[in-house]
Amino acid sequence: MQFVPSASIPEAAQRFAELQNREWGHLYPDASVERSRFDLLNNRYDESDLTTLRLAWFACNEEGEPLGVAMLVGDGEVEPRDERDLEGPWFAGLVVDPAFRRQGVGAALLDFVTEQARLFGFQRLRLVTEHKTKFYEQRGWTIERVVTLNSVLNTVMFITLGP
């Protein structure tokens, strides 16, 4: 499996934006396919401002076909009242093409993005999940607390990256 910036395969952005929106859109009132597509095509990060962090990678098979996508983002994962206590960066936007699920793509993306966060020098990485706490716990993540996103209970988890 290889990992490439999502902007390097623009023809896949629409399909994965639709998958992201289908999976996570109900949690974020401002979510849209257009917003997801924009983020997938416009990776960016100004190191002086964590809120600008929006990086995404595709996991691809040997033929270069995108199997899944995941993101490293600086903010926007929890409600504003929780954001004061729960600073980024965040592992976000994980979605695997339904044809490739249960083949290790999601776990590989999680490992890859976590390593990218470590290489950026981040000490801690967070994520928010509605249903998959066991998946993340099995990979070393710890439950931090429960939050509400658009009236839906979700779990915030973290992993320590640095010393």
Q: Torsion over CA of 138, 58, 147 and 31, rounded to 10 degrees?
A: -160
Q: What are phi and psi of 44, to 5 degrees?
A: -160, 155
Q: What is the pLDDT of residues 31-66, one digit of tens each?
A: 899 999 999 999 999 988 898 999 999 999 999 999
pTM of the prediction?
0.91
Q: Other C-beta atoms within 10 Å of 73: how many?
A: 21
Q: What is the pLDDT of residues 83-128, one digit of tens each?
A: 888 888 999 999 999 999 999 999 999 999 999 999 999 999 999 9
pLDDT score recorded for residue 154 = 87
Please name every residue paired with 154 in a beta bridge, in sequence order, or none if there are none: 147
The CATH fold of domain 2-160: Aminopeptidase (3.40.630)
